[in-house]
Amino acid sequence: MELKENLLLQYHDGRTIRIVYYERLSSIVYAIDMNQVRWPFLIREDELFSDYQKEKISVLESDPYMRYFVEEELSDAEKERRNQAWEIVNFLLKQVDSASLIFKSKYRNLAIKEAIQLYKVSYNTVKNYLIRYWKGGMIRNSLLSNFHLCGAPGIEKGVSKKKRGRPKQSVLNKGINIDDKIKKYFKTGLNRYYYNGRQNSLKVTYELILKDFFTETKVDIGMSTLNWTKIIGAAV
């Protein structure tokens, strides 16, 4: 097992934790309980390796908590709420001198106090943003509201040929609906390029997924032969 940030570990009692901070040199590890609404906690590196060797915990190969959405399908209100939360989270992270201090209540509370005064929000709002950020894989879309839970619980909308969401102004690129096939592409790509020892960023992973599954190569035979690649998928 290779410890790294965003790694999901599941105990045999069903409890799941996510590594949200790992410093290899100092062996400092902070994790967050995915089943509880609580701050990240310090956990010993040797304890994790011991539990893994004793088969008390296992590594989750896929990440059911990281959320991906087609940007064009989000409403302006959803984007505005997400971006506001993202701004507050980034403000909080910049208030501490080192990345690990945000996990210590003394320094975190000082940063939260500054955010409350600047953004005119409540303590619980800031806490909710931070916890959603860590639980959701520390990406911007982890701060989207739970609008996807509206409607019939557990039942996804059917996919038809008609594009879901608001019509785009441009007729050149209308985007596509996300069906089971597209989801499978992203899951395969994440396992191939992100959940491994290469430590690729999400941006690099996304670009590699596009290259593998959403491109086509055409050959234009004229005075010379030209190979070119066109994106045929939709950005998330």
HSE-up of residue 17 (Cα within 13 Å, Cβ side)? 24
Name residues whose C-beta falls within 8 Å of residue 30's C-beta, 6 or more positions apart in sequence: 19, 20, 21, 22, 40, 41, 42, 43, 100, 103
What CATH number does the domain located at 8-59 have? Answer: 2.30.30
What is the pLDDT confidence band of residue 235, given thresholds at 50, 70 and 90? very low
Distance between CA 104 and CA 230 in Å, rounded? Answer: 47
What is the pLDDT confidence band of residue 211, given thresholds at 50, 70 and 90? confident
Query: What tokens appear for 182 in the block?
Result: 């597209």
Do the beta carbons of residue 143 and residue 137 sit within 8 Å? no
Domain ranges of the chain: 8-59, 71-148, 180-231
User: For residue 214, what are the CA distances in angstroms to 38, 155, 235?
Assistant: 39, 27, 10
130-186 per-position pLDDT tens digit: 999 999 999 998 998 754 443 333 444 454 555 555 554 544 455 566 677 888 888
Relative orientation angle of helices 123-135 and 76-94, to the nearest 10 degrees: 90
Do the beta carbons of residue 112 and residue 178 sit within 8 Å? no
Least confident segment among 10-24, 88-102, 146-160: 146-160
